Amino acid sequence: MSSSADAAEMTRRFREVAEGVLDALLSDAPEWALELGDVRGAHRLTDHSSEADVRRVAVLTDALGSLDEIDQDLLPPGDAVDLEVLRCRVSADLWHTTELRPHTWDPLTYTPGEALSPLLERDSLPLPERLEALAARCAALPDQLSTARHRLSEGPGIPRVHAETALNRLSGVRVLLTDDLPALALTSSTTPPGLDRAREAALAAVEEYASWLRAEAEFATADPRLGERAFAARLWYTLDSELSPEALLVRAESDLIATEEELAEVAAEYEGRSRRTGQVAEVLASLAREHATTGDTVWPIAEEALAHLYRRVRELDVVTVHDAPIRLAPMPETRRGVTVAYCDPPGPLDPRVVEQPTLVAVAPPPQHWSRERRESFHREYNGVSLRGLMAHEALPGHALQSTHAARHEGSTRVGRVLWSGTFVEGWAVHAESVLARHGWTEGTDVSGRRDNLALRLVQLKTRLRVILNAILDVRVHTKDVSEAEAITLLVQRGHQGEGEAHGKWRRAELTSAQLSTYYVGRSEIADIARDLGRVRPKWSERERHDAMLAHGAPPPRHLRTLLGL
């Protein structure tokens, strides 16, 4: 057989194996599959029993074996990247199941809202079928929450912060079951005969589980920090990079100093005075007070910023803006407690993905916060900061990137299903810097110039936050920093409000490695944009950015391969 025939056969074989592995991954996690737009498992919930763990390990081990039999050298570049991405995902899932084992210590693994919300929020199925799926998932919840109690009881212990966050989210699940689901059922001419019974059983199971978890939380003492060995592995799988925690920390601390210098220069320009000690903190505090929001003004300001960005990004012609709807919404209670905002694009496997709206959700400050801390939140997320937040979450950040990814058509579904957090967050932070470089407005008068300098200040403060995210991520999970030390670092060198700093500490405890994706991703995406400009000097900025977004959301190192860099 000729070498070209060998390559063709190997390519055919890989594509067949890849689709089979993806089907196995999607079948094993029906909540994730539905979020992606695959409705085949809409009536099921993930099996978290110990018997399922054994089956899961066997499937993942077989999948790795099948992928290892593929000769990567015989594959075209796109398939070679898909092979590496898929192998990394399967290896990560195997490590997650056998080593990290969060289903034995993290109650957030079992949050019922993740099972119900996609069916309530999106019409991925016709309404009668959505209600049938909701009835089936409600009916399955008592067994799943019983399994949760059993698995969490046999584990090493529950961290208090995870238990408290899970309990807060359960209050949102009650609203889904008592209000949202009945309201959706009323819009249908027919409802499944067992829907009410299943809903009531699910509600009773949630109350029983919440009562159990509340008792557990009173005595929860487990350390949420992973430790050096587990964090290094988690970082490797999350970033798909050989960057060690030690190297990441050294690089971030160096960039922190350089960014502080740049911020000091812009603060002096904004104030119209020479640089002086304490100037940055005073300028940022003054900006925050001048543009402070309230509970009533956050939404109008965010909506105004989004409307402006639609016009401004098209005007700048730095990247193609597809006609895709973006909708702002309050963050559901079932997803609060980790981030202040998120972007929720339509599932890439939904046949109508390019027509469905992208949701941008923002969480209000928690009700239990003191008045002082809530006011701190509204100064932190002031009117200028909301412009940067909308640039990150919507345009030209996450929402725009997802509309490009939805149009990616690879030889397999790998490029549509398995996205890199490093790429996604890196693009959004890069997008903020692109907007700040071009300016919020073309205005050259005093008002326009001040608007643009204010945006640059916010963007550089955000860059400090991104760098500190990585530093905090490493130091928290390698147990190298206390809460008091972390808060001081974030407030003094990040110029963050107290509420934001405490929220970030909590997020660092609740997550691991994800906070590093912003900093590493921003650096790698910016380097790719720079190198692409050198290799393709005749391309416009829009052409370069469109090329970077044309391959889904692969890890940046693989994007280099796909771009011929």
| pLDDT confidence of residue 446 | 87
Q: What single DSSP character describes residue 74? A: G
Distance (Å) of CA 474 to CA 99, 255, 442: 19, 15, 40
Q: What single DSSP character describes residue 100? A: I
553 plus 478 within the same structural domain: yes
Q: How confident is the model at residue 2 (pLDDT cuts 50, 70, 90)?
A: low
Residue 28 within a domain: yes
Question: Which range among 76-90, 117-131, 165-179, 330-344 shows the weakest confidence by mean pLDDT?
Answer: 330-344
Q: How much is the mean pLDDT over the chain?
A: 95
558 plus 433 within the same structural domain: yes
| pLDDT confidence of residue 333 | 84
Interior CA angle at 198 toward 109 and 31, to 5°? 30
| pLDDT confidence of residue 1 | 47
Asked if residue 255 has pLDDT above 90, the reply is: yes
Which domain, by its residues, includes 288? 234-562
Distance (Å) of CA 352 to CA 130, 284, 357: 16, 44, 10
Residue 229 within a domain: no
**With the C-alpha atoms ordered 433, 434, 438, 440, is the resulting torsion angle positive or negative?**
negative
Kindly report, residue by residue over 212-225, the tens digit of the pLDDT. 999 999 999 999 99
Alpha carbons 341 and 331: distance in angstroms, whole number: 7
Q: How confident is the model at residue 499 (pLDDT cuts 50, 70, 90)?
A: confident
307 plus 346 within the same structural domain: yes
- Residue located via tokens 């940022």: 284
Residue type, 561: T
Residue 287 within a domain: yes
Average pLDDT of the segment spanning 94-103 = 97
- Residue located via tokens 């909590």: 506
E strand or H helix at 426: helix 421-438
Q: Which of 207, 198, 205 minimizes the C-alpha distance to 145?
A: 205
- Collapsing DSSP to helix, strand or coil, 344 comes out as strand
Q: Are 451 and 464 in contact (CB under 8 A)?
A: no
> Between 202 and 335, where is the model more confident?
202
Q: Are 343 and 399 in contact (CB under 8 A)?
A: yes
Distance (Å) of CA 266 to CA 432, 460, 527: 16, 9, 23
216 plus 273 within the same structural domain: no
Q: Which of 29, 174, 182 minimizes the C-alpha distance to 120?
A: 182
Kindly state the tokens that stand for 4.
């070209």
381 plus 326 within the same structural domain: yes
Alpha carbons 401 and 397: distance in angstroms, whole number: 6
Q: Are 405 and 416 in contact (CB under 8 A)?
A: yes
Asked if residue 330 has pLDDT above 90, the reply is: no
Kindly report, residue by residue over 530-556, the tens digit of the pLDDT. 999 999 999 999 999 999 999 999 999
Residue 487 within a domain: yes
| pLDDT confidence of residue 295 | 86
Strand boundaries in 279-418, DSSP class E: 326-330, 341-344, 358-362
Q: How confident is the model at residue 70 (pLDDT cuts 50, 70, 90)?
A: very high
The last residue of one of the domains, among 224, 242, 269, is 224
What is the β-pairing status of strands 358-362 and 341-344? antiparallel
The last residue of one of the domains, among 165, 189, 224, is 224
Asked if residue 560 has pLDDT above 50, the reply is: yes
| pLDDT confidence of residue 465 | 97
Strand order in the sheet with 341-344: 326-330, 358-362, 341-344
448 plus 390 within the same structural domain: yes
Asked if residue 251 has pLDDT above 50, the reply is: yes
Please report, rounded to a whole number, the percentage of residues in the chain having pLDDT higher than 70.
Answer: 100
300 plus 447 within the same structural domain: yes
Asked if residue 323 has pLDDT above 50, the reply is: yes
Kindly report, residue by residue over 372-397, the tens digit of the pLDDT. 888 888 999 999 999 999 999 999 99
| pLDDT confidence of residue 498 | 86
Kindly report, residue by residue over 106-142, the tens digit of the pLDDT. 999 998 999 999 999 999 999 999 999 999 999 999 9
Question: Which range among 41-50, 363-372, 433-442 shows the weakest confidence by mean pLDDT?
Answer: 363-372
Q: CB neighbours (10 Å) of residue 54?
A: 11
Residue 349 within a domain: yes
**With the C-alpha atoms ordered 178, 179, 180, 186, is the resulting torsion angle positive or negative?**
positive
271 plus 404 within the same structural domain: yes
Domain count, the chain: 2
**What pTM was computed for the model?**
0.96
| CB-based burial, 460-491: b 16+ in 10 Å, e otherwise | bbbbbbbbbbbbbbbbbbbeebeeeebbebbb
Asked if residue 10 has pLDDT above 60, the reply is: yes
Interior CA angle at 324 toward 323 and 329, to 5°? 140
Residue 558 within a domain: yes
352 plus 209 within the same structural domain: no
Alpha carbons 373 and 365: distance in angstroms, whole number: 9
| CB-based burial, 387-422: b 16+ in 10 Å, e otherwise | bbbbbbbbbbbbbbbbbbbbeeebbbbbbbbbbbbb
Kindly state the tokens that stand for 233.
């592995």
Distance (Å) of CA 61 to CA 23, 29, 71, 98, 495: 15, 17, 18, 11, 47
Q: Are 112 and 141 in contact (CB under 8 A)?
A: yes
219 plus 251 within the same structural domain: no
Asked if omega into 396 is within 30° of 0 (cis), the reply is yes
- Name 301's Cβ contacts closer than 8 Å, sequence gap at least 6: 293, 383, 386
The last residue of one of the domains, among 203, 224, 245, is 224
| CB-based burial, 103-123: b 16+ in 10 Å, e otherwise | bbbbbbbbbbbbbbbbbbebe
482 plus 420 within the same structural domain: yes
- Collapsing DSSP to helix, strand or coil, 497 comes out as coil
- Name 157's Cβ contacts closer than 8 Å, sequence gap at least 6: 105, 220, 221, 222
216 plus 239 within the same structural domain: no
Residue 74 within a domain: yes
Kindly report, residue by residue over 271-294, the tens digit of the pLDDT. 999 999 999 999 999 999 999 999
Please report, rounded to a whole number, the percentage of residues in the chain having pLDDT higher than 90.
Answer: 91
For the chain, report the end-to-end CA distance as a whole number of angstroms. 32
Q: How confident is the model at residue 370 (pLDDT cuts 50, 70, 90)?
A: confident
Residue 246 within a domain: yes
344: which strand partners? Answer: 359
| pLDDT confidence of residue 371 | 87
